[in-house]
Amino acid sequence: MGNPVTVNGVTLTLKDFRKFDTNIDAANKPTGPLINMSGAEGGNDTPYTVTVLAYLPDNPLNPLENTSGLQLQGNQIYLNYYGINPVKVLNKQGGSDTLQGREFRVEFNCEEEASLFDLYYIQFTYQVISGASADVIWVRDQNDDPETDRGTVTTPMEDED
């Protein structure tokens, strides 16, 4: 669907992007994007498939400044990659652990607080060209307008043995 883009040692390829539900009331919107990944990282030759359900405002969107990642919708919605960064995740003991997470963001710029949202399906692959493997990946929906941003962090679930 899209041309591959290499950012920070990772090649991103868009497989699917579509809006499939509209006019979702803010009260019914989950707190962050929902994510599913095809498997754990194990080497630099494997492309990993990631599926994200992202709730984006139904308001008009403004152009973005960071357009280094995958263009999803004109110059208004991008999937950008920010490298491997520390992220705290809950552990089974009720505390938290700090892991090294590969950080992706579905970015947009909306100046007004939204009361209605649209649900988007995004599927992409990433392939590590250079650099270390990550413990987890995480995806945030990020509004580039700091006054209306409500970005959240989501990590993939690990299978229990």
Mean pLDDT by 10 residues, the chain (161 residues): 86 93 86 70 77 88 88 92 88 88 89 86 90 81 57 43 43
Structure tokens at 116: 């209605």
Q: Are 145 and 61 in contact (CB under 8 A)?
A: no
Q: CB count, 10 Å around CB of 151? A: 14
Q: What is the pTM of this model?
A: 0.80
pLDDT, residue 150, reads 44
**What is d(CA 148, CA 16) in angstroms, rounded to the nearest whole number?**
27
In 3-state terms, what secondary structure has residue 15? strand
pLDDT, residue 152, reads 41
Residue in 68, 159, 145 with CA at minimum distance from that of residue 114: 145
Helix (H) or strand (E) holding 24: strand 10-25
Rounded to 5 degrees, φ, ψ at 48 are -105, 135
**What is d(CA 60, CA 38) in angstroms, rounded to the nearest whole number?**
33
CA gyration radius for the chain? 16
Q: Are 34 and 154 in contact (CB under 8 A)?
A: yes
